[in-house]
Amino acid sequence: MVFGASALAGVLCVGLIGCSIAHAECPVDTVILKGRVEHAAPGAKVQVKLIYPKEIPGESGEASVEDGVFRIPIEFLTLSKRPLLRNLPEKCDRKPKTVNVTLIEGDHEGEPLSLDFVRDFKLADPSAYTLRSELVLQGKR
């Protein structure tokens, strides 16, 4: 019986380790876009869309321009693809390629501004990316 109990304990131990590896999760990161709009029309909004490699559209967000400024946080999952074998760790390196920013004033949608994620953003803390420099959009005059 001792052999049977130790064998059962070994199976349970391996099973628990396998479950913990299989349920490992990738973190959720955030892109925080802050900026200002010069000459913003009343009711102006800023829309942001994350674009991944191969021009795959991703998460998006929108915020009203208040007193000429806006702030839009957009969360995205870093899971790039699940491994073929369950006991291998997941790949957690998914990041946008570009961030498209559009100023919307009434029924007029401005030309989207395309920001390069690697060049224009920096890691502000372990899970948040911010712009390297201030973003200034121009409203209709």
Is 50 within the bounds of a domain?
Answer: yes
Question: Taking CA 81 as the corner, what is the angle to CA 80 and CA 85, rounded to the nearest 5 degrees?
Answer: 145
Is 94 within the bounds of a domain?
Answer: yes
Domain that holds residue 46: 26-138
Is 49 within the bounds of a domain?
Answer: yes
What one-letter code names the amino acid at 46? V
Is 97 within the bounds of a domain?
Answer: yes
Report how many helices (DSSP H) and strands (DSSP E) the chain contains, helices first. Answer: 2, 10
pLDDT in tens, the chain (141 residues): 444 555 544 444 444 444 334 445 899 999 999 999 999 999 999 999 999 999 999 999 999 999 999 999 999 999 987 656 666 667 899 999 999 999 999 999 999 999 999 999 999 999 999 999 999 999 986
Is 3 within the bounds of a domain?
Answer: no
Please count the structural domains in the chain. 1
Is 110 within the bounds of a domain?
Answer: yes
Which pTM value belongs to this model?
A: 0.77
The 3-state DSSP composition of the chain as helix, strand, coil percent (nearest 5) reads 20, 50, 35
pLDDT computed for residue 81 by the predictor: 72
Q: What is the CATH number of the domain that holds 41?
A: 2.60.40
